[in-house]
Structure 1
Amino acid sequence: MQDMLFFATDTVLAWLALPGVGLSAIFLVSTLAATLLPLGSEPILFAYVREVPDMYWPAILVATAGNTLGGVISYAMGRGARRGYEAWKARDGEMAGAAPTANDRDAGDRWHRYARSVLDRFGPPAMLLAWLPAIGDPLCAVAGWLRFAFWPSLVYMAIGKFVRYLTITGALVWLFPGGG
C-alpha cells in the first residue's frame, strides 16, 4: 500500500513537472493554494518564470486566475455554510418552538464582533487582503458567510492576488536573476 501511495505521488509530481506542463501546473497549484490546504504557489511560479522568462506575464495571469478561482471556491463554501447553518437553526427553532434570534445568528466573543464590524465596514474591498498568508483563505470563506456582493468581492480578490504575484515574483526574479 505504501509503495502504491509513493508511486501515485511520484506520478502526480512527474505530471506537474516544469516546464513540460507549465501553465496548467501553475493554475492547478495556485487554485489549490487558495483553499484551506497548506500549499504555496509562489515556488512553482518562480521556477517556471526562471525556466521560461518569456512567459512571465502569462504565468502571472494564470497564477492570478487560479488563485482567484480558489478564493471563489472558499467564498462559495462560506456562503453554503451560512445557508446550511440558517436552515439548521430554523429547523432547530421549529422543534423548540421558537425562531432563531439575532443573538443566535451573531453569537461570538469580543474578537468575533470586532472582526465582523471591520469586515462589515469595509465590505468587498476587504477582499484586497485575500492574498495574505493564514488570513486570506479564511477571509474568502468569511466573505461568503457574511454575504458580501459576489462580483465586487471577486474583482477585489483578483486585484489583491495579482499584486501579490507581481510583487513576489518580480522581487524573486530581481534577487535571483538567471534562467532558461
Structure 2
Amino acid sequence: MDFLSENGYLGLFITAFLSATILPLSSELVLTGLLLNGLSPAKLLMIATVGNVLGSLTNYYLGLLASKTVIQKWLRMTESQFENAEARFNKYGLAALLFAWVPVIGDPVTVIAGILRVKLLWFIILLTVGKFLRYAFVVYFVL
C-alpha cells in the first residue's frame, strides 16, 4: 500500500480502480494519506471517483460477456447466493447501483448489472453519483 500512496495521483487511480474489483484494497486509506500530505482535494476526489467507476465498469463488462458459471466462480458465490443477489437487485432496481461502493455487496451488484443488461448510461450515472458521494464524505471528514 505504501507504493501506491507514494505515487500520488497515479497511485490513487490504480488503487481506486483495483478496489472496485474483487481485490481487497482500500482506496479510502490511500486517499486519506494523500489528503494529509497536502495534495489537491478536488483532484483526488475526481481521480478516485473516475478510477473506481472504471473498475466497476470492468465488472459490468465481465457480467455482460461471461457465463453465469464463470461469474459465480469469480465471485465465489453458490447458486442460491447468486439467485439472492439477483433478487435483491431486481427488488431495489437501479437504486442498488448507488450503493455499489459498499464492501462485499458492491462488486456483485456491478457484475449482476452487466448480467441483467442494465442500460450503460444509467449504470454510469448512478454508479458515479454513489462513488463520488462516498469519496466526498471521506474528503470532508479528513479535512
TM-score by length of 2: 0.82
Matched, 1:44 2:30: yes
- 2:90 counterpart of 1:120: yes
- Name the residue aligned to 1:102: none
User: How far apart, in 2, do the equivalents of 1:148 and 1:56 lie?
Assistant: 32
Task: Measure how far apart 1:84 and its partner are.
Answer: 8.6
Structure 2: which 5+ runs fail to align? Answer: 71-78
AA in 2 matched with 1:135: I
Per the TM alignment, residue 34 of structure 1 is displaced from its structure 2 partner at its CA by 0.5
Tell me the residue number matched to 1:57: 42
| 1:170 paired residue among 134, 140, 143 | 140
1:161 aligned to which of 127, 131, 139: 131
Contact map agreement 2:21 2:55 (CA 8 A) in 1: yes
Corresponding residue for 2:16?
30
Give unmatched runs, 5+ long, in structure 1: 1-8, 86-107, 174-180
Q: Give the CA deviation at 1:113.
A: 4.6
- What fraction of aligned residue pairs are identical, expressed as a percent? 31
* Counterpart residue identity of residue 141, structure 1: V
Amino acid in the other structure paired with 1:35: T
- Kindly state the Cα deviation for residue 114 of structure 1 after the two structures are TM-superposed: 4.8
- Which of 127, 138, 147 in structure 1 is aligned with 2:117? 147
- The residue identity in structure 1 corresponding to 2:126 is Y
Equivalenced residue count is 135
Separation of aligned partners in 2, 1:142 and 1:166: 26
Q: Is the 8 A contact 1:123 1:148 kept in 2?
A: no
1:126-167 CA-to-partner distances (Å, cap 9, x unmatched) read: 210101011111211111111111110111011111111111
1:66 aligns with 51
**Higher Rg:** 1
Superposition RMSD in Å: 2.4
Q: Take 2:132 and 2:59, find their aligned partners in 1: how far apart are those partners?
A: 18
Please give the alpha-carbon distance, in whole angstroms, between the structure 1 residues aligned to 2:57 and 2:84. 24
